[in-house]
Chain A
């Protein structure tokens, strides 16, 4: 083995800066040196602590999700620009989201003396400024040689983007006047912006206009060469004095403001050259471009702007105040009207979107009627008829119970939400709106599901009850804290309509997913995610991605599931949709631990992430139960059945609190506990749980559902292991009938059940019947999988065994030779049993006695090698070996 790499070499390697040859040599070394590989892994996996403890000279690496800066936790990168990178971050102390702006260090990587202090000083001055039209800066700090700001996170758009669409002139002016007021306030506080342009004006979803990035632009360090000032920002907005390298003042901002407004009104900037030197010349000469549509600017306004664009600062307006006053003078009044009308329209649209909340303020009754056509007596009958379920059957009664329960809870909560606001005055109208909107979403989910039942009918009947129990929990609509914490929907009515459209789609997808109609659900889920990505509202993106993840998870597509769920978790966290974030994180543990088979990873960070997400949401039996369940799954996958048990028991206790008594999820848990008890060898305990699961499943699904058959089969297996073959036979037969009815006679699962019945029969000495069953299983497997599938080994071996007993050694030999051929040179129980049976068959047909003895001896040899030598088998073989012709 070559010598271990030095620290420097490893650091270069993970930074991707090692030369090709060195890198290849290191790869060769890594392949045989676990210690160096671990080093590489640890160095590549940088920890947030590195940033926090950054000494002067620490690398300026980009921040990543989860990194800590001051007291803020970095969430996502929002964008990067000339002056640095902006991140969304969370302030745990004040429980709010903020924007973090990490300013670029100088090109040289080292601070010019005083530069950092100046920046910091200005940022801190800005933090003291409070004005409605200036982005609030909460805090400014230095990190090594870099400066960062924590500021108000504005959900909305930039003026530049807003202007990309054609806007009425009056609206444009209105926005600019507000931005100008922000500039003026800063000037009054002694601050200069230095880089005013439409990109630096934010228009919030709340309609507020805010100027951002004050005082952050600065000249790049470097040798200033004659005639070529190297500048940051967009030179087109700069005043002549800035070109000349003189300090910028309030009137430089005035100049930039006028360039921006000119551009907004005419579609082109007043100075128009392509090259920097030419532009500087134009500005110097006040060469106002004729290329734009300057005529679009009314002559009076043009005069105002031209004064602001004067090359000589002293000739401009004395301050922004005078400029703004000129811009707002009376002649503009006629333009203000359409603006007011537009505002009124917006209000009307909002009223529609939010629901007619003022229509009936006096009473809170009539919630039930809101479900008319969604789930009422008439609708029930249509649904039942479509599903073709008998009125008195368990399956219909289970479904009816589930949906009745949901509808009643819905009405109760609707009433409760109304009373809390209107009668008891405990909560605000705003919160009522949130709760009602949430309940309306749930009503739509219910409607989509019943519509699906009617549309697809019989095809979805088997999964109907399960789907009903899988409706999103109504509790969510009573969690006022969580509702209030979620980011608000944008106020723009057009966007709200788009969100509502995505929600309607999502509701359909949910119904398809919960009804198990994956083929139809998958393309719609993809489409919904694509739609949701267009909408500026993280919670809905999270919901859409989550459904996509669930589907992939169910189809065993681990990579896709991980991707979608992870993205769902991030979006949910960004949108403060904490319940969904927790769901996604919990499902991720399952995906990583069981689908990807990375149980150890899942038991580590993934489980911790899920735990943290759950903590953030707060105590909730449903989520906690799910978390305990996936935790147990991870342990079981690591063969730690004993450790898994307490988690499963806790999961069940929590499920008892969270779910209705008949919720199928309880059945699944009982089933899991049964399997785990079997794994630790407690057959009686396992039997108990499987019985309880069976009872529940029969109540909910009726007698023939595949889940019922699974429970029956599991119970049969337990009896078989207890050597109670009569009971085993009874349950396996019931499982068989249930599968035949629900899956059709040729299904693979039916073959498994047939074979189990056959084994029970043979164990009871009913050989001829056993043979018939084994043959049927063989037929089903052969027609489904062909004649050479490894799955054929079991029925072939059983047939061989029983044919010898039935005195048909030739038949037996044919089966067993085939089985052994499929087994190859396997050396296990199945192979040993097949060999010994073949030996018996050979002797039975007076065939090759030497080969028969060889086979028997090789089987015997296998049994003696087993840890607990198989006494019965050995005795049987020894007995056989004694008599050369004895049967």
Chain B
């Protein structure tokens, strides 16, 4: 258990006092050593933040609960179980909708939280109180579910060979021929173009096209408005397409007009290709 270091800063001391009072008021019956609790609170603020202010913003009741859990308080464990039951099933079921699986995730997670993870210490120690305990538990449940599924998951069964066998859109054999004819070049140009993007842009594209996040959700993540993300997506899509066109032009030695008609024929597949190329 981390040792209490006396807070010399009076503002910090006051913040800790207030936090402690607030938490104890919420859970008067929980058994947690004050020194451990305060040490725990001090781990909460992000590096470089004003500690006194940041401590006040922590979810101090939840930190007290975590602290009491780590100290082995029976009531705290009961409260933790309540919260686990509230968040684990929906989180785990998103990974695999099976009761047995959900049950397994819950068991393992509880074990790890209270007894110990791979490094031997109880995982609950990693909760810092910056968000609510429930949302942290949900994240931990998702991680546990992913670990359980590791190796079984096969999200990307498609390869470029399949891209070349796309079903025809209509009854025009010539157009279909063009699509099939240049699909491999298109795919490799697209792969190259995507590889040229910075990691962040590639990730955001993947989150949008493959994971299906909305522009609102990505906007929240990026701390910006959804319309900014929308514009960014359109712009990136356009520049990827321009890059693909440039690469295809160099590779196939086609004129700009021919490239346009080729890109036109392949454009309808761009979304699909992006989806697959990003996988």
Contacts and interface: CB of A to CB of B under 8 A. Distances in A.
B127 A597 contact: no
Given A45-B217, A597-B272, A752-B174, A57 B211 contact: no
Interface stretch (B7-15, B30-38, B142-150): B142-150
A790 B139 contact: no
Name, among B126, B216, B255, B272, the residue most crowded by chain A CB atoms within 10 Å (CB to CB): B272
A608 B124 CA distance: 38
Given A49-B90, A791-B174, A558 B271 contact: yes
Contacts of A53: 86-87, 134
Given A17-B46, A749-B172, A786-B255, 13 more contacts: A12-B46, A14-B221, A16-B223, A27-B200, A38-B211, A43-B142, A44-B218, A45-B213, A57-B62, A597-B273, A636-B167, A752-B173, A793-B181
A56 B27 CA distance: 11
A31 interface: yes
Interface in A666-719: 675, 679, 710, 713-714, 717
A598 B272 contact: yes
B181 A790 contact: yes
Given A8-B126, A54-B134, A717-B171, A15 B142 contact: no
A59 interface: yes
B255 A788 contact: yes
A4 B147 CA distance: 11
A794 B213 contact: no
A59 B273 CA distance: 38
Interface string B167-178: 110111110011
B222 A16 contact: yes
B186 to A, nearest CB: 12
A54 to B, nearest CB: 7
A833 interface: no
A592 to B, nearest CB: 9
19 contacts: A7-B126, A7-B127, A11-B130, A34-B155, A35-B150, A38-B142, A38-B211, A39-B143, A56-B26, A113-B25, A597-B271, A598-B275, A637-B167, A637-B272, A752-B174, A786-B255, A786-B257, A791-B177, A791-B261
Contact of B143 (A7, A599, A785): A7
Interface in B132-184: 132-136, 138-140, 142-143, 146-147, 150, 153, 155, 162, 165, 167-168, 170-174, 177-178, 180-182
Contact of B202 (A31, A35, A752): A31
Name, among B48, B132, B213, the residue most crowded by chain A CB atoms within 10 Å (CB to CB): B132
Contact of B213 (A17, A44, A636, A752): A44
B93 to A, nearest CB: 10
Nearest to A34: B155
A13 B272 contact: no
Name, among A6, A19, A605, A710, the residue most crowded by chain B CB atoms within 10 Å (CB to CB): A6
B221 A30 contact: no
A108 B177 CA distance: 65
Interface string B194-236: 0000011011001101011110111011110000000000100
A59 B257 contact: no
A756 B130 CA distance: 69
A286 interface: no
B96 interface: no
Interface of A: 4, 6-8, 10-17, 19, 24, 27-28, 30-31, 34-35, 37-45, 47, 49-50, 53-59, 64, 108-110, 113, 556, 558-559, 595-601, 605, 636-637, 639, 641, 675, 679, 710, 713-714, 717, 749, 751-752, 755-756, 785-786, 788-791, 793-794, 823-824, 826, 828, 830
A395 to B, nearest CB: 22
B167 to A, nearest CB: 6
Contact of A11 (B139, B202, B234): B139
A679 B61 contact: no
B59 A57 contact: yes
Complex A-B, nearest 4 residue pairs according to Cβ-Cβ distance, in ascending order: A597-B272, A16-B223, A41-B211, A597-B271
Contacts of B212: 41, 598, 601, 605
Contacts of B143: 4, 7, 35, 39
Nearest to A735: B171
B171 A713 contact: yes
Interface stretch (B69-77, B100-108, B239-247, B262-270): B262-270
A679 B269 CA distance: 19
Contacts of B167: 636-637, 639, 641, 679
Interface of B: 22, 25-26, 46-48, 56-57, 59, 61-62, 83, 86-87, 90-91, 94, 126-128, 130-136, 138-140, 142-143, 146-147, 150, 153, 155, 162, 165, 167-168, 170-174, 177-178, 180-182, 199-200, 202-203, 206-207, 209, 211-214, 216-218, 220-223, 234, 252, 254-255, 257-258, 261-262, 267-273, 275
A44 B217 contact: yes
A728 to B, nearest CB: 13
A637 B166 CA distance: 8
A749 B162 CA distance: 28
Contact of A790 (B59, B140, B155, B178): B178
B221 A788 contact: no
Contact of B200 (A24, A108, A789): A24
A27 B268 contact: no
A6 B126 contact: yes
A794 B203 contact: no
A11 B206 contact: no
B173 A31 contact: no
B61 A57 contact: yes
Contacts of B270: 597
A749 B132 CA distance: 62
A794 B217 CA distance: 47
Contacts of B172: 749, 752
B258 A755 contact: no
Contacts of A714: 171
A31 B146 contact: no
B173 to A, nearest CB: 7
Contacts of A34: 153, 155
Given A16-B222, A31-B202, A597-B272, A41 B171 contact: no
A43 B181 contact: no
Nearest to A29: B199
Contacts of B162: 639
B134 A50 contact: yes
A552 to B, nearest CB: 14
A834 to B, nearest CB: 12
Contacts of A56: 26, 61
Contact of B135 (A38, A45, A50, A752): A50
Contact of B211 (A4, A12, A37, A58): A37
Contacts of A605: 212
B110 to A, nearest CB: 15
Given A10-B139, A57-B59, A714-B171, A35 B132 contact: no
B211 A7 contact: no
Contacts of B252: 824
Contact of B220 (A44, A55, A110): A44
Name, among B61, B90, B138, B216, the residue most crowded by chain A CB atoms within 10 Å (CB to CB): B138
B117 to A, nearest CB: 11
Name, among B61, B140, B143, the residue most crowded by chain A CB atoms within 10 Å (CB to CB): B143
B272 to A, nearest CB: 3
Nearest to A144: B132
A47 B90 contact: yes
Nearest to A6: B126
Contact of A55 (B134, B146, B200): B134
A750 to B, nearest CB: 12
A45 B218 CA distance: 9
Contacts of B220: 14-16, 44
A11 B131 contact: yes
A639 B165 CA distance: 9
B103 to A, nearest CB: 18
B252 to A, nearest CB: 6
Contact of B57 (A6, A109, A755): A109
